[in-house]
Amino acid sequence: MAGFAGAGILFLGLMFGWSSIGCAGPPAGSDEAVASGREGQNKPLIKIVSPNGGEVWAEGETHDVLWDSEGVTEVRITVAVGGKDKGHLGEGVPIDAGAGRFAWTIPRDFVTGFGISEAGNVRVMIYDARDRQVFDISDGPFTITGPRPAAAEEAMPPAEGDRDYEQAIVGYFDALSGREFKRAYDMLSACKVVLTNADGSAVAFRPRPGYESWLEAQQNVRTIEVRRVERLIPATGGGPGAAGRGDALATLGIRAYKVTLSIELSREDWTVGSGENTLFVYVVKGSDGMVRILEIGSGP
């Protein structure tokens, strides 16, 4: 993840995350550009101390995000799961860089709200609040665990209604492995889907990217073999007026699946590597009876 530009884009071309952060500097002539370009100053530096790879944290716990910095006044901290941006810590307010720490209480539904018991591909990024090109990212992924929601304590048993969805998922990856790119691309949703809960929270799925850019991303894939497809049941609201991501997904019949794949790549990617990988796939069946893929990512 050291090469940050485009780091939030999975080789499948359907995952969007941190790719816009650090890709461009402040506008020429701005206060930020002048401040970062003054001569005679040491180059600003940020170095993450923790979490920096290998830690195991749990929902509901409070942990210190630690860093060292030089020549930086304020920082912002973001968290991503599988390269998918999960937002800023501290409500996005700049944090005193000199403090060198931020106490983060991990929300109780941070990973289990998606129907999984843990996420092992979490990273933190800290960047200069005035110059986004000054940043550091966890050297390696760390893990966040938590109790599963009661509704997702066990994988939903296979049912007649799941067969079409599972066949569509397997068919997509088989098409990629067989270099049938047009068939695979046609299985991706061309629509932007935004669902808003009563509490104002929202769930959004982006439309598929343009064919040429998507096709270019697929050249990294040599072979893909689907090993296992498991349906997940995201948590729903727990009481009157309560709503969660699961409520929005259930409303339109959007289903989530955990897919275990054996992948061979022509070059290694920071989000996945050759060998066994786990991806999360969101699908929906249209009024025409076709199952379309809304999102594929290495995080829920």
**In this structure, what CATH number is given to the domain that contains residue 87?**
2.60.40.1930
Q: List the structure tokens of 264.
A: 């061979």
Q: What's the Cα-to-Cα distance from 25 to each of 33, 40, 75, rounded to whole Å?
A: 8, 20, 15
How far is it, in rounded angstroms, from Cα 236 to Cα 112?
11
DSSP-derived letter for residue 234 is -
User: Where among 148, 168, 203 does a domain terminate?
Assistant: 148
* Whether residue 161 is found in the same domain as residue 277: yes
What pLDDT is recorded for position 138? 93
* Whether residue 69 is found in the same domain as residue 101: yes
How far is it, in rounded angstroms, from Cα 45 to Cα 195?
40
* Whether residue 163 is found in the same domain as residue 206: yes
* Whether residue 192 is found in the same domain as residue 205: yes
Task: Establish if 177 belongs to a structural domain.
Answer: yes
* Whether residue 94 is found in the same domain as residue 173: no
* Whether residue 125 is found in the same domain as residue 205: no
- The enclosing domain of 215 has a CATH number of 3.10.450.50
* Whether residue 89 is found in the same domain as residue 134: yes
Domain that holds residue 277: 151-297
pLDDT by position in tens, the chain (length 300): 333 333 333 333 333 344 333 333 444 444 544 444 444 457 899 999 999 988 988 888 888 999 999 999 999 999 998 878 888 888 778 999 999 999 998 888 888 777 777 888 899 999 999 999 999 999 999 999 875 444 333 444 544 567 888 889 999 998 888 888 999 999 998 888 887 766 666 678 888 889 998 888 888 888 888 888 888 876 655 444 444 556 667 777 888 888 888 888 877 665 666 788 888 899 988 877 888 998 888 776
Task: Establish if 254 belongs to a structural domain.
Answer: yes
User: Where among 113, 148, 183 does a domain terminate?
Assistant: 148
The separation between CA 127 and the C-alpha centre of its own chain, rounded to angstroms, equals: 18
* Whether residue 144 is found in the same domain as residue 155: no
Task: Establish if 287 belongs to a structural domain.
Answer: yes
How far is it, in rounded angstroms, from Cα 122 to Cα 24?
24
* Whether residue 160 is found in the same domain as residue 291: yes
* Whether residue 183 is found in the same domain as residue 279: yes
What pLDDT is recorded for position 47? 95
Task: Establish if 16 belongs to a structural domain.
Answer: no
User: Where among 148, 179, 196 does a domain terminate?
Assistant: 148
* Whether residue 167 is found in the same domain as residue 87: no
By the 8 A CB rule, do 296 and 10 touch? Answer: yes
Task: Establish if 5 belongs to a structural domain.
Answer: no
Q: By C-alpha distance, which of 187, 164, 161 is closest to 174?
A: 187
* Whether residue 200 is found in the same domain as residue 244: yes
pTM of the predicted structure, to 2 decimals: 0.51
